Amino acid sequence: MRARWTTNLLLKAFALLLALFLWNLYRTEAQAVRSLTVPIQFENLAEDREVAGDVPGSITVQVEAPEPLARTLSPEWIDAIVDLRSAEIGEKEFALGPDVVRLPAGARLVSVSPPAVKLRIEARASKQVPIEARVRGSVKEGFVLGSISVQPVFATIVGAESEVAKATKALTEPVVVNGRDATFQAGVALVIENGRLRLVTPRTAIATIEVLPVGDESPAPAP
């Protein structure tokens, strides 16, 4: 009877050790590190302020996760959001750490490149600039382009104070004149060459393109 009890005890101890081993093996599942490029977003900036200059569009993160999760990780699973709620005017540096980079459950942030971003915060400004029409192509043989005008004449732009100060005009998208042999009008969208500025109003204009027979164009003004 004692030998049987001892044998049962050994079997139970072995089973317990095996269970502990398997549990520990499960908990220490192989980890893998993935490097991913993810978009970075800037949120909650005060309405009377703007970010000036070049702003990074993405960062590179290294993420450690269990191998099955690491294999399936994609940038869409990761959020990188810098909160600008308390950003004051001037040049500011924002650290990029776990409070900025949000990962799926089970993943751990190893590193971020760059580890911080510098932004220049400026007051928001606006002003009116003239609208300039652009044309593309060639009119019909025997004809020439005459005057080119737009309505309305001005557009209002908004953006960081220093960027607005340098802006001199808004442009129409190119109006195609290929094969034209008569004056015509075209509705066109407006654009700003500086992508950090925004059009407030209008966003479209009517361009009038004068097309005249050769010899009928207005004489050039005297120098």
The closest of 194, 198, 205, 146 to 172, measured between CA atoms, is 205
Asked whether the bond before 219 is cis by omega within 30 degrees of 0, the reply is no
**Cα separation, 123 vs 47, whole angstroms:** 9
**Cα separation, 84 vs 87, whole angstroms:** 5
What's the pLDDT tens digit per position in 146-195?
Answer: 999 999 999 999 999 999 999 999 999 999 999 999 999 999 999 999 98
Q: Give the tokens for residue 178.
A: 């290929």
Cβ 131 vs Cβ 205: under 8 Å: yes
For the chain, how far is it from start to end, CA to CA, in angstroms? 125
Q: For the chain, 223 residues long, give each residue's pLDDT as a single digit of tens.
A: 444 445 555 665 555 565 555 445 545 568 889 999 999 999 999 999 999 988 889 999 999 999 888 888 899 999 999 999 989 999 999 999 999 999 998 899 999 999 999 999 999 999 999 999 999 999 999 999 999 999 999 999 999 999 999 999 999 999 999 999 999 999 999 999 998 999 999 999 999 999 999 976 554 444 3
Cβ 59 vs Cβ 38: under 8 Å: yes
The pLDDT, as a whole number, for residue 18 is 55
The pLDDT, as a whole number, for residue 221 is 43
**Cα separation, 164 vs 219, whole angstroms:** 37
Query: What number of other Cβ atoms are within 10 A of residue 84's Cβ?
Result: 18
* DSSP code string of 92-137: EEEE-STTTEE--TT-EEEEEESSEEEEEEEEEEEEEEEEE--EES
The pLDDT, as a whole number, for residue 222 is 40
The closest of 156, 92, 171 to 124, measured between CA atoms, is 156
Place of tokens 């950090």: 196
The pLDDT, as a whole number, for residue 5 is 44
Cβ 195 vs Cβ 157: under 8 Å: no
H or E segment at 172?
Answer: strand 170-172
